[in-house]
Structures are given as structure tokens and as C-alpha cells.
Amino acid sequence: MMKKMLFRILLSALGFCAIIALWQLAFHLVDNRTKLPSPFSVFEYIEDSLLSGVLVSAIKGTLMRMFSGYAMGLVFGIPLGVLCARVRIFRDTLGLLALGLQALPSVCWAIPAILWFGANNAAMVFVVLMGSVWSLLLSTQHGVMNISPIYIRAARTMGSKGLHTWIYVIMPAAFPSIVGGMKQGWAFAWRSLMAAEIVVALPVSKANGLGLQLNYGNDNNDIAQVIGIMIVIVAIGLLVDKILFSPWENMLRKRWGLDAK
């Protein structure tokens, strides 16, 4: 097991080294530092920004907005998904609306958010909420509606009913679908927040965030900063997936006997 993991890490490291080598080659071929920076200049920008605290402040500001909006999405999305699954009138109205709104790019919410809340953190948190809540609602609805009736009948045969059935039968059976919706909702919300931080012009005293730093790189024609911030955004997205969602998915696969081992 350990050898297999080390082999995968080695292959991944070699793959990334190949990508960096190709990037360096493209940099020499293009020979235009305003269009394509070298990987070393990008890594130098990231290092300098971390040491100066600018990047740390930007990451902190972005993650605070992200977790605030995403937590609200969980609070609203999962209960509303259960409601849509169990009550037809809600499924035919709110569920149908959620299906349509999920297809709407979340950045579209930035303009009404500015009009409703002003150019502040509340506007960006609202965009995150709109980016996550519909995926959570639909995945919860799908998970609850597609539970095998055998589970519920077996539970009732053994005396389970009401809230006990919901806690110990329905929600655990729907949990794989809910986790999938949580992961998808996070991805949608993360992209939405980056766009919102670019669109919503905060006062200079409060202008901390990865999207804002990305916009500053564009204003200053600093392609190294732009690429550097993009790399940080991707890295945080991967890190969140590995820390928050992958352990749950692996646990569920083992619990439901889906591992190939």
C-alpha cells in the first residue's frame, strides 16, 4: 500500500515537472514577458506575496467570504431539498425554479447583489450563497427521492417511524447524493466568488481577496501576478477537495462496498 502511494506521488511529481519544463520552453519560444511569464517569475511573485503578507490576507478574506456563503447554502439548501422531495407542490415550484437557476451563471447575481447590498462583503457572500444553494437543494431532493423503498419498509417492519426513520434510514441513504451536491456546490460557489470579487469594487481599505488581486494584476499589466493568483486559486480548490470531500467519498465507498479492493 505504501509503495503504491509513493509510486503515485512520484508519477505526479514527474508529471508536474514535465508541465513546468514545457511552460519554460513556451516562455522562450514566445519571448514576450508581457504575454507569458516564466514559471520562475510566477513562483517568485507567490513567494514574495506570501512573505509580505499580501497573499495571506487575500486568501483569508476570500475564504471567510466563501465559508460564510457556503454555510448559508448548506443551511437553506439541504432542508429545502428534503421539502421538495416529500411535498409535490414544492417540487413542482421551488424544485423546478432551482433547476432553472442552477443553469444561470452565478456571476449574474453580482449586479443585483450590488444593487441590494452595495459594494461590500455582503454582496459577495450573497453570490456564493446563490452559487451553492441550488446544487445542494437538487442533490438532496434527488437523494431522498431515489432511496430504495425496501429500506423504508424494512425499517417500518422493525418498528421505526417518523423522525427515527428520517435520522437513521432516509438521510444516511441519501447522504452519498448530498455529498456529491456539496462538492458540486462548493465548485460552483468557488468560481462564483472569484468572479464576484472582480466585479464588486470594494473600497481600498477593504480590498482583500484573490479575485481582487487578480484584477490588480490585470490593471498593472502584470501577467506574473495574474498567473500566480490563478495557480493559488486552483491549489486551494484542490486542497479543499482533498481535505473536505475526498475523505467523505472514500468513507462512503467503503461503507457501501464500492471499493475495488
> Is 213 part of any domain?
yes
* The three three-digit cell numbers of residue 170, written as one number: 432516509
Q: How far is CA 68 from CA 56, 108, 183, 195, 257, in A?
A: 18, 20, 16, 17, 34
Residue 185 sits at φ, ψ, to 5 deg, of -60, -40
- Give CA–CA dist 139/245, Å, rounded: 15
138/174 Cα distance (integer angstroms): 12
Query: The dihedral of CA 195, 113, 104, 101: what is its sign?
Result: positive
180 in any annotated domain: yes
pLDDT score recorded for residue 205: 46
> What does the alpha-carbon distance between residue 144 and residue 137 come to, in Å, rounded to a whole number?
11
pLDDT of the residue at 134: 92
* Domain membership flag for residue 197: yes
- Give me the number of domains the chain comprises: 1
At position 176, the amino acid (one-letter code) is P
Q: Residue 241 belongs to what domain range?
A: 42-255
> What is the full per-residue pLDDT of the chain (261 aa) written as tens digits?
677 778 777 888 888 888 888 888 888 887 777 788 888 989 999 999 999 888 998 999 899 999 999 999 999 999 999 999 988 999 989 988 998 888 888 778 888 988 898 888 888 899 999 989 999 999 999 988 888 888 888 888 887 777 778 888 888 888 888 888 898 889 889 988 888 888 876 554 455 788 888 888 888 888 899 999 999 999 998 888 888 888 877 777 777 665 544
Q: Residue 158's domain is classified under what CATH number?
A: 1.10.3720.10
pLDDT of residue 202: 59
248 is a domain residue: yes
- Measured CA angle at 241 (ends 240, 245), to 5 deg: 110
**Dihedral, CA of residue 39, residue 41, residue 44 and residue 45, to nearest 10:** -110
For the whole model, what pTM was predicted? Answer: 0.85
The whole-number pLDDT of residue 204 equals 47
Residue 126 placed within a domain:
yes
In a domain, 30, yes or no: no
Residue 27: inside a domain = no
Please give the Cα distance from 215 to 203 (Å, whole number): 14
User: What is the per-residue pLDDT for 79?
Assistant: 92
Please report whether residue 261 resides in a domain.
Answer: no
64: buried, middle or exposed (CB in 10 Å: 19+, 13-18, 0-12)? Answer: middle
